[in-house]
Structure 1
Amino acid sequence: MSAADIRAVTIERVAAYLRERGYGFAPTPAGLAGNWDGHHLWFLLQGSRADVLQVRGRAVSAVPVRDRVAVLRALNDWNRGRVWPKVYLRAEGDQAAEHVLYAELSTDVRHGATDAQLAAQLGTSLVAVTAALEDLAPALGAAPPR
């Protein structure tokens, strides 16, 4: 590996990775989005210099507000026992009557990455985010999508 192999991480490079593997996705104003294992995922470059690569997943099932505390306990256990991905609930819907589970993995890419490094990060993020959503589906009272 030489310094010439390290390039800026861009949404176009992320799209090329997804396209090469035959994954379906669409551009969004913020990045890219697609469905993996029944979950909606986004691929974003965050931060003031777009130097944080984030893969964010959203569970299919929503959590009624009455179940929020029990689900938050399960999410706290998850976050306490693992370094990544981060999992959390976000209020959505009319008058925040429901909460939705999100999982995300963020990586500092300010110094760029080789194609192999970017592929490894994206592959790891896809597996980790979808696995977290599936592992936590029972806490939501839902079966993992298939």
Structure 2
Amino acid sequence: MGFFTKPQEGTSAGALAPLTSERIRARLDDRDAQYGVDDDGDIGGYWDGHLFYFFLLGQSSEYLQIRGRWNRAVSIEQLGAVTGLVNAWNAEKLWPKLYARAEDDVVGVYAEHTVDYEHGVSDEQIDLHIACAIATSGQAFDTLDESFPAEAALARAEFERE
């Protein structure tokens, strides 16, 4: 079998179970995480004031993408500065992938960590994926906060009031 050849139908690539939203929720429950499920079945919650979603993507829902949004209101005039910081992060770090985009009058910054689990996944791998995505996204968001301390302080105060 070649490196890029899939196992033939009926053969086993291992004893790993398929990725499901139920398994993701079980891992979050084991961590006592606070989260919800929206009308589309997407799982989401807040970590350190930043919204994270857990998406199952692909034809067979074999990709787990954890996407976080930096919860800061940085004016659109700062898009160039934010994009420079995001590009520097992406050039120096393996994950998460960051991107910035204009959203009306503010800059939205997103962190994504996506893994293909086509051949199945263990509970430990799901747990590691969750921990890695949230921790490294938090590090990226903290790095951005250092460049925008006023926006970070304002967002933290607003989040704590809620």
Q: Report TM bin, short chain.
A: 0.7 to 0.9
Which of 135, 146, 150 is the matching residue for 1:138?
146
Q: Which 4+ stretches in 1 moved above 4 angstroms?
A: none
Specify which of 79, 85, 89 is matched with residue 90 of structure 2: 79
Output the CA distance in 2 between the equivalents of 1:69 and 1:90.
10
Which of the numbers 95, 118, 121 marks the counterpart of 1:113?
121
Percent sequence identity is: 32
Kept after mapping to 2: 8 A contact 1:102/1:133: no
Aligned residue number for residue 58 of structure 1: 69
After superposition, the CA RMSD in angstroms is 1.9
Q: In the aligned structure 2, how far is the partner of 1:13 from the partner of 1:130?
A: 23
2:79–2:101 contact (8 Å) kept in structure 1: no
Greater RCO between the two (CA within 8 Å, min separation 6)?
1
d(CA) in 2 for partners of 1:80, 1:119: 26
Give the C-alpha shift of residue 8 in structure 1: 0.5
Question: Retained in 2: the 8 A contact 1:65–1:98?
Answer: yes
Match 1:32 to one of 34, 37, 43? 43
> Aligned equivalents of 1:67 and 1:30: distance in 2?
34
Could you tell me which of 60, 65, 88 is aligned with 1:49? 60
Q: 2:135 aligns with which of 119, 127, 131?
A: 127
Q: CA deviation at 1:86?
A: 0.6
1 or 2, which has the higher strand percentage? 1
C-alpha distance in 1 between matches for 2:57 and 2:81: 31
Q: Distance in 2 between matches of 1:72 and 1:129?
A: 16
What's the TM-score, normalizing by structure 2?
Answer: 0.79
| Greater Rg by CA | 2
Is the Cα–Cα contact under 8 Å of residues 55 and 129 in structure 1 kept in the other structure? Answer: no
* Alpha-carbon spacing, 1:30–1:139, altered in 2? closer, same or farther (3 Å): farther
The whole-number CA distance in structure 2 between the counterparts of 1:30 and 1:67 is: 34
- Aligned residue pairs total 141
TM-score (norm 1): 0.87
Unaligned runs of 5+ in 2: 1-12
| Aligned: 1:104 with 2:117 | no
Q: List runs of 5+ in structure 1 lacking aligned partners.
A: none
